[in-house]
């Protein structure tokens, strides 16, 4: 049976998945398109345009995008900010409860004992001792992924998460990797510093093993990866 998510039906994963890349193991493998949503000024426009061409796509909200788009998965490299910056509470408060395919356990994110609509993901530490510390300090994170790391911002790490989850078409929304503010108008300092911005771009450009199937709705990432097929 399919599970409702983001205002449409999200297909139940049909293939068992060993989850070797995640702790605890992620039990399912997804397929099809996913929208990876960053938090740049163009998010709302990008998301609406992507929804128009991929109305059934799953959604991964990255960092502050959790407050603006209804998501099936939340991701941040900065796992403590899920609570410190209220991303979990705002996702649940703005978009309500429900169940997300593949996350069949009790809901830990907001202290609710009911079923979850979305699951929370972050990057695992390289050492077992450090990862044990992370898991202890951030019990709201459902899955920790060893390979969801890199030099191209949290959104690029979320692209890797999308691929590890099994999605084969990854569309970036609100990830222009260009100078400008966040979606709420606050200044995005790192993205207005040319040296840092070029480092992010170089990290993505050099990470060629993860390029396949990626497209973007705007900015430098659209120029680099191209637009999604229509």
Determine which helix (DSSP H) or strand (DSSP E) holds 6, and give its type and residue range: none
What's the CA gap between 168 and 189, in Å, rounded?
Answer: 32
Nearest CA to 165 out of 10, 42, 8 is that of: 10
Q: Which of 3-12, 203-212, 220-229 has the lowest mean pLDDT?
A: 3-12
Instruction: Give residue 6's pLDDT.
Output: 35
Map 74-104 to HEC letters: EECCCCCHHHHCCHHHHHHHHHCCCCCCCCC
Instruction: Tell me how far apart the 2 most distant CA atoms of the chain are, in Å.
Output: 49
Do residues 55 and 42 lie in contact, with contact meaning Cβ atoms separated by under 8 Å? no
Instruction: Give residue 21's pLDDT.
Output: 82
Q: What are phi and psi of 103, to 5 degrees?
A: -115, 85
Over residues 145-154, the mean pLDDT reads 89
What's the CA gap between 101 and 214, in Å, rounded?
Answer: 23
pLDDT of 97-145, one tens digit each?
Answer: 644 433 434 444 444 434 567 889 999 998 999 999 999 999 989 899 9
Over residues 144-160, the mean pLDDT reads 92
Q: Three-state DSSP class for 203?
A: helix
Instruction: Give residue 220's pLDDT.
Output: 97
Task: Tell me the pLDDT of the chain averaged across its residues.
Answer: 83
pLDDT of 8-51, one tens digit each?
Answer: 334 333 333 344 588 998 887 899 999 999 999 999 999 999 99
53 has which bridge partners? none
Do residues 167 and 31 lie in contact, with contact meaning Cβ atoms separated by under 8 Å? yes
CB proximity list for 156: less than 8 A, separation 6 or greater: 150, 200, 203, 204, 207, 210
Instruction: Give residue 92's pLDDT.
Output: 85
Instruction: Give residue 209's pLDDT.
Output: 94
Q: Three-state DSSP class for 36?
A: strand
More confident residue, 5 or 65: 65
CB proximity list for 67: less than 8 A, separation 6 or greater: 86, 87, 90, 91, 94
């Amino acid at each position: 049976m399919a599970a409702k998510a983001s205002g449409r039906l999200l297909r139940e994963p049909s293939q068992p998945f060993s989850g070797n890349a995640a702790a605890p193991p992620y039990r399912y493998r997804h397929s099809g398109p996913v929208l990876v949503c960053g938090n740049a000024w163009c998010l709302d426009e990008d998301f609406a345009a992507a929804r128009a061409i991929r109305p059934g796509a799953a959604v991964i909200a990255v960092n502050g995008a959790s407050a603006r788009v209804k998501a099936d998965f939340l991701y941040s490299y900065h796992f403590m900010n899920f609570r410190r910056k209220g991303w979990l509470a705002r996702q649940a408060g703005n978009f309500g409860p429900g169940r997300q395919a593949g996350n069949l356990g009790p809901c830990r994110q907001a202290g609710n004992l009911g079923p979850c609509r979305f699951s929370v993901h972050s990057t695992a530490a390289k050492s077992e001792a450090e990862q044990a510390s992370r898991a202890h300090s951030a019990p709201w994170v459902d899955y920790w992924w060893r390979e969801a790391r890199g030099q191209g911002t949290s959104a690029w790490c979320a692209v890797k998460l999308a691929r590890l989850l099994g999605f084969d078409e990854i569309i970036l929304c609100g990830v222009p990797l260009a100078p400008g503010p966040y979606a709420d108008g606050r200044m995005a300092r790192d993205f207005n510093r040319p040296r840092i911005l070029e480092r992010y771009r170089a990290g993505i450009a050099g990470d060629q093993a993860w390029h396949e199937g990626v497209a973007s709705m705007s900015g430098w990432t659209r120029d680099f990866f191209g637009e999604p097929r229509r």
